[in-house]
Chain A
């Protein structure tokens, strides 16, 4: 096991440094590469071009073509390269650009990367990191906008992280690379330019540990990825109405820190789960089921889920906006929960 350094507290000082989500990812990756000579990056246009989302900017200059590798458009071979290299002791970071492209390499992710350690009787580990961009909001339509975390979180052997801001993007990326298992880092496309306070030193955020982004006593909102920001905005709105919302960011959806949620539910007695992925078969269903299992007696209302309707992501901005859950729908959900009893 690799050890995870303590997560540094965010400095509230005036001089604290703001960094964008994409730069924070980039910095975490660069520091992890400096820390461990076995870390390398492979993907389409990651080296010479720096990645279509600027995720890999300047890394070729520092680490050279041995550790920054542009590959052909061959996602199955790309993930397979990562699996094989990881089995031989390297720590590959392979980039899939858009999450939707996992469709063409799912075998390597699900049947190979996720199962190798188990099937080999523990003889190898696969310290592979897969980076990708998920989410709607750019008018990128049905094949470039999906949030498929539920597919991956369903597979034993994989870990899945969904950073909601720049600070988390850096910390989770570092932890993913240091982790001895295949970890999928789902960056959110809409958040790429968003900024938050990011410490300069390298730090990991423990995988499988939720974060309480806001404390409140009336209702718990469990929000994934980009929905954390929407939930915090909804909480601000509701505070003006005298409703105190607690916002929990699981950060890692596999493994999932349910204890933090249970503890919150026991205090607030009401829960709303919100994610960008379609509601049906989404992680909201899993979280709701676990909460009612563990804390049924504490619930004053059934667990409510908010996600996307059961449709591919539409192109037209007017439809896309109606499709993706937002602060208004979250606030409305909280009010509905409070109307019961």
Chain B
């Protein structure tokens, strides 16, 4: 009988992460933060078409999980997928080129923000349909076992997505087939503009896992080290054939559901936003790294600067890239 692994956010043990892991988490988070804030600026400047769902605020989740994965581990993502793609290692150039709709983009300009993928890195795509990536991750986990590989699959989704049938069907399927898949719920407290309290009667989304006999853990989604530790354990279980696990990370998004313009309707208070920002994931990690001597300010600053340079390069690359050719309108509708 499966049971809940732990209901507590990971404690002081989390502090014992190696310096290497801390620097890795820091770099992944900085890459997401800068990728996203630049994308937001480009959107504001009217340079990007389509929708932009920013991930800023939730960086610790993508970084913490991805640092526990290998390139052959698979992930499925959501409409808010840039952070997952960046943390999985998808190139800035391919990502910005896609946001610009250029033929050099991750989807050859066909997909845009909501569909970024990189199959070579196990990134099976962001997704415009809420909950739709969850069964796909179960399928990827099935394939790993079928091929007798020890890779795992991770599905990211929001609190809101757990109200959709796909989540429940996939969770039960994964549990009964004991598949190597992790269900990572990024609980940022809102589904679009609806607070969690109005779309479910639970406080902890992790409680839903119990219905399928799946163990679960709740972590502080602003603490990258805690997310990482929980994921390492869950991945080890899954690789060992012990089946799926549900991780709920309590986190927050700083921007609006979509776009950069801020609150059109006051569905949450500025005070609430400020309280979460006071526990910013990157600030927390940096403060800890500086306090325990893991890194110097100069080392941390170096990461920011290298990332800024890489982003400037990628944006220049995207802007210089050609547009898709309309003669290729039917490209990739079918294979062969």
A residues contacting B by CB (< 8 A) are: 44-45, 48-50, 52, 70-76, 100-101, 103-104, 138-144, 309-312, 314-319, 322-323
Contact = CB atoms under 8 A, between A and B. Distances in A.
Given A50-B265, A143-B129, A318-B323, A310 B164 contact: no
Interface stretch (B67-75, B138-146, B191-199, B310-318): B191-199
B326 A73 contact: no
A311 B329 CA distance: 8
B163 A318 contact: no
A320 to B, nearest CB: 8
Nearest to A44: B192
27 contacts: A48-B267, A49-B192, A52-B192, A72-B191, A72-B194, A72-B199, A73-B160, A73-B163, A103-B129, A104-B129, A104-B166, A139-B112, A140-B50, A140-B112, A143-B127, A310-B333, A311-B329, A312-B333, A314-B324, A315-B50, A315-B101, A315-B110, A316-B101, A316-B103, A316-B109, A316-B110, A318-B101
B200 A72 contact: yes
Contact of A141 (B115, B160, B323): B115
Given A48-B193, A316-B110, 16 more contacts: A44-B191, A48-B194, A70-B199, A72-B160, A73-B199, A75-B164, A76-B165, A100-B128, A138-B51, A140-B50, A142-B128, A311-B330, A314-B110, A315-B101, A318-B101, A319-B109
Contacts of B191: 44, 72-73
Interface in B112-141: 112, 114-115, 127-132
Nearest to A72: B163
Task: Give the one of B127, B193, B330 with max A CB within 10 A.
Answer: B193
Task: Give the one of A100, A310, A314 with max B CB within 10 A.
Answer: A314
A73 B49 CA distance: 26
A148 to B, nearest CB: 14
B107 interface: yes
Nearest to B115: A141
A318 B103 CA distance: 11
Contacts of A309: 329-330
Contacts of A142: 110-111, 115, 128
Contacts of A72: 160, 163, 191, 194, 199-200
Interface string B323-336: 11010011001000
A315 B109 contact: yes
Contact of B193 (A45, A71, A103): A45
Interface in B299-323: 323
Contacts of B129: 100-101, 103-104, 143
Interface in B160-196: 160-161, 163-166, 191-194
B194 A44 contact: yes
A323 B109 CA distance: 14
A71 B109 CA distance: 34
A215 B299 CA distance: 74
B199 A49 contact: no
Nearest to A309: B329
Nearest to A312: B333
Contacts of B329: 309, 311, 314, 319, 322-323
B102 interface: yes
B254 to A, nearest CB: 19
B335 to A, nearest CB: 14
Contacts of A141: 50, 110-112, 114-115, 128
A18 B64 CA distance: 54
A45 B194 contact: yes
A143 B128 contact: yes
A277 to B, nearest CB: 15
A314 B107 CA distance: 10
A48 B129 CA distance: 22
B156 to A, nearest CB: 15
B194 A315 contact: no
A317 B48 CA distance: 10
